[in-house]
């Protein structure tokens, strides 16, 4: 009988070590698996995160795994870059106010096609390919997101007169009817929601995906709202990650300018979600592979946690 060479012995030792490390990670996850069993976790999946194939596949696997271990994930996706690409092809220019795309009647048709069509099916497909069953719907299905025209006001610096801005068919959720989510989740399926809402007269509204995810997380009393973004979380003046932020600290951070730009609506959405009924919200780095699993099932919890007051 031939003796294994030292190289193959080394390989075997390494394989055993890898397996032991994996087993240790699984064992560490057990208390977290118990903690979240049967809970609803809302995950906001942004359009930028979708363009990297290996990250997208890891995301699909994470969501499928959550369902398999007894958690009820609800995915709310964005699609800003995908909408911009289609509008560019159609030579329709976009303008943004405070990160919101000003949306006229012609644009809202294109936006609904992109969000509730291509992107919605693509995200559901990622999860399906990972072995779970996801169903793509829009906020118009089952009356999930009743919306109205968003009213934005700005104050003129000189005259101090307030002006109402017309953002067209940009909507804000007024009522969430979660029955369609419960029906799907209760049947072993994973709802994947496009952030499109329906108005009183049947008109369609384009809703910022963060806002839609926050409203849904509040309405279903989600245990966690996970907001995947392109930074490690909320950073302080020195660029260090803030692991936990109270509502008061968040308000001070916005007032001082420490929290600015796109992070303002994100933090405000988290505050609104916990006010409305979510237990906590986490802003975390979607560029890290398996960010959702790391957040939920390890001590490391890599992002910024925002709890209710």
Ligand X SMILES: CC(=O)N[C@@H](CCC(=O)OP(=O)(O)O)C(=O)O
Binding site for ligand X (CB under 6 A): 46-47, 78-80, 83, 100-101, 111, 170, 195, 206, 208-209
Q: Are 280 and 308 in contact (CB under 8 A)?
A: yes
101 binds, among ligand ADP, ligand X, none (CB under 5 to 8 A by kind): ligand X
- State in angstroms the smallest separation of the CB of 191 from ligand ADP: 21
262 labelled binding-site residue: no
Which is nearer to ligand X, 36 or 50 (by Cβ)?
Answer: 50
- State in angstroms the smallest separation of the CB of 250 from ligand X: 20
230 binds, among ligand X, ligand ADP, none (CB under 5 to 8 A by kind): ligand ADP
Could you give the CA distance from residue 260 to residue 278 in angstroms, rounded to a whole number?
A: 24
Q: How many CB atoms sit inside 10 A of residue 156's CB? A: 9
79 labelled binding-site residue: yes
231 binds, among ligand X, ligand ADP, none (CB under 5 to 8 A by kind): ligand ADP
Task: List strands edge to edge, sheet with 196-198.
Answer: 171-176, 145-149, 196-198, 204-206
Looking at residue 309, the DSSP 8-state letter turns out to be: -
Could you tell me which of 94, 194, 70 has the C-alpha nearest to residue 144?
194
Looking at residue 220, the DSSP 8-state letter turns out to be: T
80 labelled binding-site residue: yes
Binding to ligand ADP (CB under 6 A): which residues in 236-295?
258-263, 266
Measured at CB, which residue is nearest to ligand ADP? 262
Which is nearer to ligand X, 61 or 77 (by Cβ)?
Answer: 77
- State in angstroms the smallest separation of the CB of 50 from ligand X: 8
Distance (Å) of CA 49 to CA 89, 109, 264, 298: 21, 24, 19, 22
Could you give the CA distance from residue 199 to residue 177 in angstroms, rounded to a whole number?
A: 14
Residues 33-62: x/- map of binding to ligand ADP (CB under 6 A)?
A: -------------x-x--------------
- State in angstroms the smallest separation of the CB of 210 from ligand ADP: 6
Binding to ligand ADP (CB under 6 A): which residues in 89-108?
99
Q: Are 146 and 174 in contact (CB under 8 A)?
A: yes
Distance (Å) of CA 178 to CA 143, 155, 277: 8, 36, 13
Please name the helix (run of DSSP H) or strand (run of DSSP E) that holds residue 135, with its range, or none. strand 134-138
Please name the helix (run of DSSP H) or strand (run of DSSP E) that holds residue 136, with its range, or none. strand 134-138
Which is nearer to ligand X, 204 or 208 (by Cβ)?
Answer: 208
Which is nearer to ligand ADP, 45 or 205 (by Cβ)?
Answer: 45
**Under rule CB under 6 A, residue 230 binds ligand ADP:** yes
Annotated binding site for substrate: 79-80, 101, 206
């Amino acid at each position: 009988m031939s003796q294994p060479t030292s190289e193959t012995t080394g390989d075997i030792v390494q394989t055993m070590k890898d397996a032991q490390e994996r087993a240790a990670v699984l064992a560490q996850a057990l208390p977290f698996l118990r903690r979240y069993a049967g809970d609803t976790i809302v995950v906001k999946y942004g359009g930028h995160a979708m363009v990297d194939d290996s990250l997208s596949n890891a995301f699909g696997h994470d969501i499928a795994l959550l369902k398999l271990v007894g958690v009820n994930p609800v995915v709310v996706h964005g699609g800003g870059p995908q909408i911009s690409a289609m509008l560019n092809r159609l030579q329709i220019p976009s303008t943004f106010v405070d990160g919101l795309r000003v949306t006229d009647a012609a644009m809202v048709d294109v936006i609904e096609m992109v969000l509730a069509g291509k992107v919605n099916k693509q995200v559901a497909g990622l999860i399906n390919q990972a072995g779970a069953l996801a169903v793509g719907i829009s906020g118009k299905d089952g009356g999930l997101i009743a919306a109205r025209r968003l009213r934005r006001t700005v104050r003129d610096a000189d005259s101090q007169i307030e002006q109402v801005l017309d953002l067209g068919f940009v909507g804000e959720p007024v009522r969430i009817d979660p029955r369609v989510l419960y029906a799907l989740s209760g049947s072993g399926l994973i709802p994947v929601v496009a952030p499109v809402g329906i108005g009183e007269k049947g008109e369609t509204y384009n809703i910022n995906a963060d806002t839609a995810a926050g409203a849904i997380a509040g309405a279903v009393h989600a245990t966690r709202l996970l907001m995947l973004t392109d930074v490690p979380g909320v950073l302080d003046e020195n660029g260090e990650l803030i692991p936990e932020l109270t509502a008061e600290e968040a308000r001070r951070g916005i007032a001082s300018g420490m929290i600015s730009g796109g992070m303002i609506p994100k933090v405000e959405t988290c505050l609104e979600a916990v006010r409305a009924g979510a237990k906590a919200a986490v802003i975390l780095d979607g560029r890290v592979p398996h960010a959702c699993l790391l957040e939920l099932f390890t001590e490391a919890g890599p992002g910024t946690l925002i709890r209710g007051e």
